[in-house]
Amino acid sequence: MTAEWRVNVQLATDDDDIPGANDIVKWADRALRLSAGEAEVTVRVVGMEEGRRLNERWRRKSGATNVLAFPLAGPNLDPALLGDVIVCAPVANSEVLGNGKAVEAHWAHLVIHGTLHLMGYTHGNDVDATRMEAVERTLLTELGYPYL
């Protein structure tokens, strides 16, 4: 039996310079290939206001951040539903200004990063961070993006 996964994309902002849904699916899909079983993820692209509200409510941090991951867990949930990745378009796009990284490469990194969090990867300590960064580097390289 082969693993099956599904990526849903929600574009909840009309900000400029948002990658197409097909690209977002491709990036999340690449991370999900590490999963042995079924998996379903939603990637939601939001504007500054929704990004700020979510970050302040769930992380208790002021302002918006580039990517948030909301893993789903509970006894009554389908185990294939991993959760939601939220990318704040204005923050993501502002981060690439002047750093020499292509917008597409940065977005790929954020989507992969959020998807890996849903799969249990963390970076709360040096060992976990090194492990997660190695996986990110491998996936981005396979997709043809530099890891900066």
Q: Is residue 148 part of a domain?
A: no
Q: What's the rounded Cα separation, in Å, for the pair 47 and 67? A: 12
Whether 79 is covered by a domain: the verdict is yes
Kindly report the CATH number assigned to the domain that includes residue 123. Answer: 3.40.390.30
Q: pLDDT (tens digit, 9 = 90+) per residue, 122-131? A: 999 999 999 9
Q: How many domains does the chain have?
A: 1
pLDDT at 97: 80
Cβ neighbours of 115 (radius 10 Å): 29
Task: Inform me whether the pLDDT recorded for 1 exceeds 60.
Answer: no
pLDDT tens-digit map of 44-100: 999 999 999 999 999 999 999 999 999 987 656 666 789 999 999 999 999 988 777
* Residue in the block written with tokens 């992380």: 59
Q: Which residue in 124, 146, 126 sits closest to 137, CA to CA? A: 146
Residue 96 inside a domain? The answer is yes
Residue 147 domain flag: no
29 assigned to some structural domain = yes
137 belongs to a structural domain: yes
Range of the domain at 84: 5-142
